[in-house]
Structure 1
């Protein structure tokens, strides 16, 4: 499979994993950009927000999940796409890539690999202390989700 096809396949599995039933109560977005129009802008491939509940404090205590798709060892070793700013952070990659680079994955970062037509966890993420406020994270997710709504 070519790199573009692998990336597309992994991205489709990530979207299915994040929101398997196309539920509008699942809050997520793709290609979420932070610090836009600066020299240090970053883009997270996929982000999901899981509030504790829909109260103010439940939203403030919610968790952000970040997913970075890596289709090859070269892709993993590139400088791009290691933007782990969530409470839980994951790579999504083919299992053969994971086997080759597993010692290079930071301790707190988890990994999902394809198993048939779904993703399976091969390394569990450890909670990180997020540095960005809920309001900024949600605003950037909203902006990216809105962009995708306009495209369709």
Structure 2
């Protein structure tokens, strides 16, 4: 399924605003879980965008789920927040139509919301709280070590790099 222009706009905003700081790395579509992606019965989850920041406190991981419509928010697809902080990223108009009762369980878990196109010209942010491992454990979801998080980010980054190497007429070696 091709990405919509809205999705591309949100991805571009994330890249420009969350992945270009010194000591911060970002990558799209990071998959966690079963290492053998050919297995049909293994547990896997994917985040739309993930950053790792090397800070004085150690590595800080942030995950971002992009939602471009109310229907997209309500989809049965997993909403994965595996890092230290988690955010929904959505157009302001979408955030306005999601009933508070549907967002509240995420707020209670510490999930934030970012709306890059707030009407006042500022980026709207509902701050995320540090996600507790207990949240994932209570939901029966696996916990990932720093090594797991870095490995999955690296695999996704290499996948994206390989795409650039293969661009016809604009490839790395051309």
- TM-score of the pair, normalised by structure 2: 0.73
DSSP 3-state at the match of 1:62: strand
Match of 2:88 in 1: 91
Structure 1 runs of 4+ aligned residues shifted over 6 Å read none
Mapping for residues 3-82 of structure 1, pairs under 5 Å:
4-20=4-20, 25-36=23-34, 37=37, 38=39, 39-53=42-56, 61-82=58-79
Unaligned runs of 5+ in 1: none
Q: Distance in 1 between matches of 2:129 and 2:98?
A: 18
Q: Distance in 1 between matches of 2:99 and 2:28?
A: 25
Match of 1:124 in 2: 127
Q: Distance in 2 between matches of 1:69 and 1:78?
A: 12
1:81 to partner: Cα distance: 4.6
Retained in 2: the 8 A contact 1:110–1:121?
Answer: no
Unaligned runs of 5+ in 2: 134-142, 165-174
Q: Distance in 2 between matches of 1:42 and 1:83?
A: 7
Deviations 1:20-51 (A, max 9, x none): 46x6x422211000114253211111110112
Q: Structure 1 residues 31, 119: closer, same or farther in 2, change over 3 A?
A: farther
DSSP 3-state at the match of 1:76: helix
DSSP 3-state at the match of 1:126: coil
Q: Tell me the number of residue pairs that the alignment of Structure 1 and Structure 2 aligns.
A: 141
Higher relative contact order (CA 8 A, sep 6+): 1
1:112 aligns with 2:109: no
Question: What is the root-mean-square deviation of aligned Cα atoms in Å?
Answer: 2.2
Comparing 122-131 and 91-100, the one that deviates more: 122-131
